[in-house]
Amino acid sequence: MAPLQISRLLLNAVVLALLSACAGGGGGGGGGGGIISPPPPPPVGPPVFPPLAPPHAPGDIPNLSSAEFLNNWGPAGTNAQIAWQNGATGAGVIVGVIDDGIDPSHPELVGRISPLSTDIVAGRNALVTTQSHGSEISSLIAGNYNGGQTVGVAYDATILAVRADTSGGFAYNDLTNALDYAVANNVDVINFSLGGDFVPPQSFIDAIERATDAGVIIVVSAGNSGLQGASAPNYPGLLALNSSVSNGLIMVAGGLNPDGSVNPVSNPPGSTANWYITAPGWQIIVPDHGPAGPVPGFQTCGLGPNGDLCRIQGTSYASPHVTGAVALVMDAFPGLTPQQVVDLLFNTADDTGPAGTDSLNGRGRLNIGRAFQPVGPLASPLVAGMSSVNETTQLGVIGPAFGDGLNGNAALWSVAGFDAYGRTFPLQLADNWLRASAGPAHVALAPRLWRSAHDESGLRVQMSFADDVAPDSYRVPVDRADLQQAPTRIDADLGAGLSVSFAANGGRTHYEQGDAVGHLASINADMSLSLTSRLSEHARVSFITETSHGEAGLNFAQDARTANAIRASFDAASHRFDVTLGAITEEGALLGMSWADALGETPTGETQFTGLSWSLSATPDVRFNASAEYGVADAAQIGWLRVVEPLSTTAFSLQAERNFTPEWLVALREDGAGFFRFSISQPMRVEDGELSFMAPTATKYGRRSLAYEERSFAPIPSGRELRLGLGYNYFAGETLSAFGETMYVLEPGHIGNAEPEALLRLGIRVAN
């Protein structure tokens, strides 16, 4: 419809023709001005509003396969269901609909219309009408989820309906009053499915500015003059260009066809491209709110199995989809400013057409689902006052004794993360721990070859050969040169019954018996020193010191470990008993666990342990060995992760050995001898105790609601690793060492659901 040719003098009193019902179906803003007709006489009494309906229970959302959801393609076409699935339904958001009235008793609007709704035209008092463009718009925004005809995008929102039409269209003074009334009654967003071609009077522009100054978002249909060569949206959409008026809160809605293309009737963005977004506008289905009106082609009713649906089209019906999206975002993220709400919807729109903002699609196609996903990486202030962590931040290293006890609880490590808009999303940090290797469960080397030298004074020196490469079991950076240093042992008699042993570079002051699984073995000693005093023929006592320095990498602090122990040994016939009391100090770690520097300094941990071992030489060729250890680990009550209750640890090993050298080996090497070994062992494991940390939490108000709660947990692994091994060792003097073993590992890494491992381990050392 072409606008009437009227003088500028009349434009100060008249404009913005809205197609009443039918013309509204044309899409808001397609027409020009009109002369005001005398207002109709007021009704006998005020309207009666049904009480506002309570919001739906969490999780109670429309069935996505129901006719109610599928009848109108708009909700699915904007991915509104993703907002519903995330708990957003528009509850608590007041939407101003400035239009041509409302029918609050219609089933799709019962309980949705605020009793503060009004007819702004002086003296008319005729808000309620059953032939209403405003009812159609309101049904698209907040139509009831009731299993009926259709459902609105924000079906729990409240509509503040302000009727401002006259028989000839809309007068600017009425629209100005409607704006001020809506703002005074605390609307959050206003839908304008109307518009005109000419610059509005200053009084109306001032009302727009007052609304946006108050933080009210205004969504305006672009208009339906595209085929007539319109180069930009109608007013008031063009006011988006005036930042002092819009305050960045005017959104212009263009209309889409069901196939996602922009309908050619929809006015293009023109200079408002940065404030223009497209949404479903053509072939839209709404409940039948009354006669179709005098504009065939814009509205077809009598549709659906009950004949109670209408098909409509135009940008008038694109803007309520955008308005509903605003309501959903405001419900879900009340911590956002209105400017952030607008920016979020623009930035999460699908980029349709040419890359970036363009002259046909503006910012792109409305996608509510993307607006409910984090924008940018999530970050969490895991420690108050320190830098935030994100999805890729390594929190620290977990010692093998913890298994999955520290990071296996996903709920424990779900903390409040914030996206680029400061919105709250769960940030999962359970996988942000680096799990240290549990040692040589799957890689083993043959026992070392020691070359010995001694003199008459009792000084004995042993040196082994350096390994050329690191075993596969290493999981942290290792200095290759360190590995190539030759392990060394030095023993010396200091006097009657008193001796000293020193070992370095991987050697230890006592000989290994199978895989070491106890507390001292966890040191991975760089250097060890043992002072032994023989108390009697059958008793001796040793003082043991071991140290190591290992760097976990990833900017974690260096872990310096020191162990001090006293061991009493007793021989009785074919039996030997050892009792060991010791303590391990770890600078910047506890049982091999330390956290990143970004979380602060890891305190020094101390583990006190007791070990008992027994060996029996049943026959000259058969031996049995058994050992068990128990430890208690604690750390200073400082830092990010605190020890609430000391951690208890265990380890044990059972071995049976039998000397056996096949005849063919004897024939090859007369100095060779070997033995079979069967073993069952459990590496060091955390059994009890409690840790805690202050976890960041936040509500849907985002970063401004940041708080911390203490979370305590027992870092006990879900499983218990057991190693069952059957192997053969062979030695030939100082020149050959060979080793082979089959091993079956249950619940490797102390992880309950881990698949068992069946391993074949081989190793050989040959002297040069």
Q: For the segment 601-636, what is each residue's pLDDT rounded down to a tens digit?
A: 889 999 999 999 999 999 999 999 999 999 999 998
Ramachandran angles phi, psi of 78, nearest 5°: -110, 0
Give residues with Cβ within 8 angstroms of 281, minimum separation 6. 27, 253, 254, 255, 256, 263, 266, 313, 314, 315, 316, 317, 318, 321
Average of pLDDT values for 359-372? Answer: 96
| Residues β-bridged to residue 625 | 615, 655
Assess whether the previous peptide bond of 236 is cis (omega < 30° from 0): yes
Which pLDDT score, from 0 to 100, does residue 766 have? 75
Q: Identify which of 412-426, 514-528, 740-754 has the greatest average pLDDT.
A: 412-426
Does residue 64 sit in helix, strand or coil? coil
Per-residue model confidence as pLDDT tens digits over 295-322 = 445 788 889 899 999 999 999 999 999 9
Contact predicate 352/278, CB 8 Å = yes
Locus of tokens 């001005």: 33
For the chain, report the end-to-end CA distance as a whole number of angstroms. Answer: 101
Higher pLDDT, 188 or 394: 188
8-36+73-350 and 451-766: same fold? Answer: no
Assign a CATH topology to domain 451-766.
Porin (2.40.160)
Q: Give me the pLDDT at residue 485, please.
A: 62
Helix (H) or strand (E) holding 565: strand 558-572
Please state the rounded mean pLDDT for residues 395-420: 93
Summarised one tens digit per residue, pLDDT across range 729-749 is: 888 877 777 888 898 999 999
Structure confidence by residue, pLDDT tens digits, 381-391: 999 888 899 98
Residue entry with tokens 């006669």: 291
- How many residues make up the chain in this entry? 768
Of 232-246, 400-414, 609-623, 659-673, least confident by mean pLDDT is 659-673
Secondary structure element (H or E) that encloses residue 149, with its range: none
**What's the pTM?**
0.81
The pLDDT of residue 564 is 94
Rounded Cα distance between 237 and 254, Å, is 11
For tokens 């990833």, the residue is 554
One-character DSSP codes across 363-378: T-B--HHHHTS-SS--
661 backbone dihedrals φ, ψ, rounded to 5° = -130, 115
Contacts of 227 (CB under 8 A, 6+ apart): 264, 265
CA distance 315 to 225: 10
- Of 260, 193, 178, nearest to 223 by C-alpha is 193
Residue 219, phi then psi, degrees to nearest 5: -110, 125
Asked if 697 contacts 416 with a C-beta cutoff of 8 angstroms, the reply is yes
Q: Is 145 exposed, middle or buried (0-12, 13-18, 19+ CB in 10 A)?
A: buried
670 pLDDT tier (thresholds 50, 70, 90) = confident
pLDDT greater than 50 at residue 441 = no
**Edge-first strand listing for the sheet containing 158-163:** 118-119, 158-163, 94-99, 189-192, 217-221, 250-256, 276-280
DSSP 381-409: -SSTTS--EETT---EEE-GGGTTTTT--
| Residue 548 identity (one-letter amino acid) | S
Look at the alpha carbons of 330, 336, 339, 345 in this order and tell me if their dihedral is positive or negative.
negative
Q: CA-to-CA distance for 212 and 215, rounded, in angstroms?
A: 5
pLDDT above 70 for 479: no
Q: What share of the chain is helix, strand, coil (3-state, %, to 5)?
A: 20, 35, 45
Q: 221, 28 in Cβ contact below 8 A?
A: yes
The amino acid at residue 79 is N
The percent of residues above 90 in pLDDT, for the chain, comes to 63
Type of residue found at 167? S
| Per-residue CA distances from 93 to 146, 190, 212 (Å) | 19, 11, 16
Q: Is the pLDDT of residue 469 over 60?
A: no
* Domain-wise residue ranges, the chain: 8-36+73-350, 451-766
Token pair 């690793």 in the structure block, residue:
721
Question: What is the second-level CATH architecture of the domain 8-36+73-350?
Answer: 3-Layer(aba) Sandwich (3.40)
Least confident of 259-273, 471-485, 682-696: 471-485
Model pLDDT for residues 252-279, shown as the tens digit of each residue: 999 999 999 999 999 999 999 999 999 9
DSSP letter at 468 equals: S
Q: In terms of pLDDT, which residue wins out, 677 or 482?
A: 677
Task: Give the H/E segment covering residue 668.
Answer: helix 663-668
